[in-house]
Amino acid sequence: MTAFTQRSQLCHHSDTYLHSWTSGVRVTSAPTLEVPDSLWKAETSVQSVGPTDARRCVSRPQADLQLGLTQEEVRRRRAYHGWNEFDISEDEPLWRKYLSQFKDPLILLLLASAVISIIMHQFDDAISITVVAVVLSCVQEYRSEKSLEELGKLVPPECHCVREGNLEHLLARELVPGDTVCLSVGEKVPADLRLFEATDLSVDESSLTGETTPCTKSTAHQPASTNGDIASRSNIAFMGTLVRYGKAKGIVIGTGENSEFGEVFKMMQAEEAPKTPLQKSMDLLGKQLSLYSFCIIGVIMLVGWLQGKSLLDMFTIGVSLAVAAIPEGLPIVVTVTLALGVMRMVKKRAIIKKLPIVETLGCCNVICSDKTGTLTKNEMTVTQLFTSDGQHAEVTGVGYNGQGEVLLNGEVIHGFSCQSISKIVEVGCVCNDSIIRNHNVLGRPTEGALIALAMKVGLEGLQREYVRVEEHPFSSEKKWMAVRCDKAGVYFMKGAYEQVIRFCSSYNSRGSALPLNHQQVELYQQQISYMGSGGLRVLAFASGSEMGKLTFLGLVGIIDPPRSGVKEAVGTLISSGVTIKMITGDSQETAMSIGQLIHTRLRKCINGVAVTDGVPGSALCPQISVFYRASPRHKLKIVKSLQNNGAVVAMTGDGVNDAVALKAADIGVAMGQTGTDVCKEAADMILVDDDFQTIMSAIEEGKGIYNNIKNFVCFQLSTSIAALTLISLATLMNFPNPLNAMQILWINIIMDGPPAQSLGVEPVDRDIIRKPPRNVGDSIITRSLIVKVLVSAFIIVCGTLYVFWREDNVITPRDTTMTFTCFVFFDMFNALSSRSQTRMVHEMGLCSNRTFCFAVLASIMGQLLVIYFPPLQSVFQTESLSVLDLVFLVSLTSSVCAVSEVIKKVERWRGVEKSPPSDFFHEV
């Protein structure tokens, strides 16, 4: 029995008992876990499982809901159930891939050529054609698939799990059946979970059922269902589904292939990844070229036959032409170049989830970026405090720790020494879902800053003293959060000033609640403008026993400085014609102040609310650079409005509700650190460190990859056309064949092989980021490219024919050696100039692409062996050439490079490659 089947059986066994366990449970009481109390103690609207059934719940999988599993138990279970992942080791082996290549029409064609060679008793050719062509394509295809497979492993899912009484942040693969998992908004369910605690939980199961409306989950008992309908099992959260709302705790009942998702995963593996537009157009180009080549080959064979040449001879020519002219490497190089480029992007901290995005990156002309965390550091520190009775305090110290002081008129505030201040600190601390551990925030940085503030006045212990009985969680849509706690029965609220003040009827004046009046409101507005214009994020605080009649307590100002390097990145992008738009939930003053720090052109601003359909705001989007008080639903409208104006939009996002906008954007960018799983799922690209500069690096890389593919196409097309024309002309002019089949094969290896491949890894031109974005509709085959291809092919053909001609009329091995070497050298110089369509060789540096240097050196060494090494001489029918011959050939063949360089110079002079950056999306 293999390990795999053994495990399946074990899993099956465990499934049976887990199934009976899952279907017989009613509701039990929520165990208290050693996790941030505020997170899990809420009782209101929490459905929990009753004590009796909880015991049953726990006894089957022998787990402890309160403490979770012990490390020892985890190890034991892992040995039994394996890791919570999918076994992808059952990969298609190389030999099967090798065989699958035979379905490719081009490979079939080459094989047909080989068969013809066998018929003609040219066994050498037959073997070479088969082995070289098939092995080369197969290995390349395998390599590309390997690299693509790696992409899938770049974003390992994570989860929160309780083990030995502690809340741990783990990789989802480490889960075992019986583990207690905590779920919250935006997370991906890491394994099949039987829920035993759920607060307003609603889960998006579209990955399993295709149903896009999120379904409500509860802990309620379910009668044993026989139809296996996933949607009806509402007390189970399935692996791979996404938490859209609420939070929950559950116990793992199925991991890896033993989960419901395991089935879907197997189906997904069977699906082939869709090809990118570039891959598709290269496939088409390859097919078209093959068709043209065949027509030409047909005509040549017919002409030759009419000229009275033997049919067998014409077959030989046909085979050689088929081998030389069919660019079978074209689609493969595109895939390999894309995949390698994507791996390079990972090093620059950008994870590309969908290959077509690599192409889109170079077309992106508008970037809509979040402010907090992307343009700024997301390292929040409270620096100012303003109490509702008009006192102004300064806060010192930075970071998530208690180092620093709150100073009121030079006096240090500690504990409850100033009621007005400590009330604000208390609300900030209690109405808070985050904790600070080892100077790091687990939760939201804004809330981390409030806990650090509490630590500075010695009130951080308050967080543990209160048990929540009701909560209104924070969302970017609402922009406020409130909790009610059992101790005092009062509400504590914090949030954006405009939101909080709506719930207030009084303000705190040295301990007593006075009715709010116009004067006070004016005073607070002034303070907000003052703090905001200093770039501070402003939060308002209130408390009271009734939600509409709260007492306003005051404001805090939180600093979050711009990331270093962002200013330069924004400047570079703007100068290249990319427009930057900042979208933030913060107030106008804060947004503008940070906007100005980042770039002076970020001037024109609008309230997110104004961006609604039918309102002129939507049409204005192209000219606005800062959207303040914006919420996720505005993002979608902004994207749509920009797209309607012809923009290719990259949009960043982190929250659950950003997912729609990310999907709608041409490039959806999710935050790797602060982003929710929902948002990462919807995105095309993930910024590992949330840094705006990474978007710039990705655009740079995207443009570079596209250019490299263009260079490769230019090289391959010119060689293909040259080889085809050379042999066609020789036939039509009734010359003997200038190259024999083995020589043509060798040229083909160079054309599709290492030198050509190495063009795909050409380092990105540092100036490329300054080039304007490409037009989406632009084809890779531009007029300028066609001119270069035809000119190079023309020079190669003329030069080779000249060498062939210049020798005497009788065809000797020396003549073919000279012609053959001439073509190979032409190819090398052609590859050298194809390294860039715009830069001269000396600008790029001769050795800047080391892979290319090695590939060319290896090809030259190979060519010399073919000329001077006796056993190869007999295979290739060559003979030794003199040094003078070589010098002559090098001088002649370098002309192709020289002419290309002249064309580049002329183009640069005429400004062909330059189009002025569009100013349309900038402010007017």
Binding site for ligand ATP (CB under 6 A): 370-373, 444, 446-447, 474, 476, 479-481, 494-496, 537, 539, 583-586
Handedness of CA 590, 591, 592, 598 (dihedral sign): positive
Tell me the closest approach of the beta carbon of residue 442 to ligand ATP, in angstroms. 14
Give the amino acid at 734. Answer: N
Residues 826, 356: Cα–Cα separation, whole Å: 34
Q: Name the nearest CA neighbour of 285 among 750, 707, 709.
A: 709
Give whichever of 222 and 476 is closer to ligand ATP, judged by the CB atom.
Answer: 476
Residue 162 contacts residue 146 (beta carbons within 8 Å)? no
DSSP 628-676: ES--HHHHHHHHHHHHHTT--EEEEE-SGGGHHHHHHSSEEEEETTT--
Tell me the closest approach of the beta carbon of residue 472 to ligand ATP, in angstroms. 10
Residue 420 contacts residue 391 (beta carbons within 8 Å)? yes
Tell me the closest approach of the beta carbon of residue 446 to ligand ATP, in angstroms. 4
The total of other beta-carbon atoms located within 10 Å of residue 911's CB is 9
Give whichever of 437 and 510 is closer to ligand ATP, judged by the CB atom.
Answer: 437
- Residue with the two structure tokens 């959260």: 237
Residue 456 contacts residue 405 (beta carbons within 8 Å)? yes
Give whichever of 404 and 562 is closer to ligand ATP, judged by the CB atom.
Answer: 562
DSSP state of 534: T
Give whichever of 196 and 386 is closer to ligand ATP, judged by the CB atom.
Answer: 386
Say which of 64, 125, 192, 370 is annotated catalytic: 370
DSSP state of 562: B
Tell me the closest approach of the beta carbon of residue 585 to ligand ATP, in angstroms. 3
Tell me the closest approach of the beta carbon of residue 355 to ligand ATP, in angstroms. 28
Closest residue to ligand ATP using C-beta atoms: 585
Tell me the closest approach of the beta carbon of residue 521 to ligand ATP, in angstroms. 17
Tell me the closest approach of the beta carbon of residue 611 to ligand ATP, in angstroms. 14
Residues 921, 573: Cα–Cα separation, whole Å: 13
Phi-psi category of residue 668: left, alpha or beta, with phi > 0 → left and psi -120 to 50 → alpha: beta
Give whichever of 373 and 622 is closer to ligand ATP, judged by the CB atom.
Answer: 373
Residues 292, 295: Cα–Cα separation, whole Å: 5
CA–CA distance from 839 to each of 136, 901, 906 (Å)?
Answer: 30, 8, 12
DSSP 450-501: HHHHHHHHT-TTHHHH--EEEEE---TTT-EEEEEETTT--EEEEE-HHHHH
Residue 710 contacts residue 780 (beta carbons within 8 Å)? yes
CA–CA distance from 229 to each of 233, 241, 748, 834 (Å)?
Answer: 7, 15, 57, 58
Give whichever of 650 and 745 is closer to ligand ATP, judged by the CB atom.
Answer: 650
Give whichever of 531 and 793 is closer to ligand ATP, judged by the CB atom.
Answer: 531
Give whichever of 285 and 368 is closer to ligand ATP, judged by the CB atom.
Answer: 368
Give the amino acid at 577. Answer: G
Give whichever of 657 and 728 is closer to ligand ATP, judged by the CB atom.
Answer: 657
- The alpha carbon of 682 is separated from its chain's Cα centroid by a whole number of angstroms, namely 10
Tell me the closest approach of the beta carbon of residue 633 to ligand ATP, in angstroms. 12
Residues with Cβ within 8 Å of residue 438, at least 6 apart in sequence? none
Residue 565 contacts residue 693 (beta carbons within 8 Å)? yes
Active site residue 370: yes
Token pair recorded at residue 557: 């100002």
Tell me the closest approach of the beta carbon of residue 181 to ligand ATP, in angstroms. 24
Give whichever of 144 and 376 is closer to ligand ATP, judged by the CB atom.
Answer: 376
Q: Name the nearest CA neighbour of 361 among 470, 462, 240, 277.
A: 277
Residues 72, 756: Cα–Cα separation, whole Å: 54
The total of other beta-carbon atoms located within 10 Å of residue 213's CB is 9
- Residue with the two structure tokens 């033993």: 258
The total of other beta-carbon atoms located within 10 Å of residue 88's CB is 11
The total of other beta-carbon atoms located within 10 Å of residue 633's CB is 16
Tell me the closest approach of the beta carbon of residue 360 to ligand ATP, in angstroms. 23
The total of other beta-carbon atoms located within 10 Å of residue 912's CB is 16
Tell me the closest approach of the beta carbon of residue 588 to ligand ATP, in angstroms. 11
Beta-strand relationship, 649-653 and 626-628: unpaired
Tell me the closest approach of the beta carbon of residue 441 to ligand ATP, in angstroms. 11
Give whichever of 432 and 819 is closer to ligand ATP, judged by the CB atom.
Answer: 432
Residue count of the chain? 924
Give whichever of 447 and 701 is closer to ligand ATP, judged by the CB atom.
Answer: 447
Q: Dihedrals φ, ψ of 208, to 5°?
A: -100, -45
**Annotated active-site positions, please?**
370
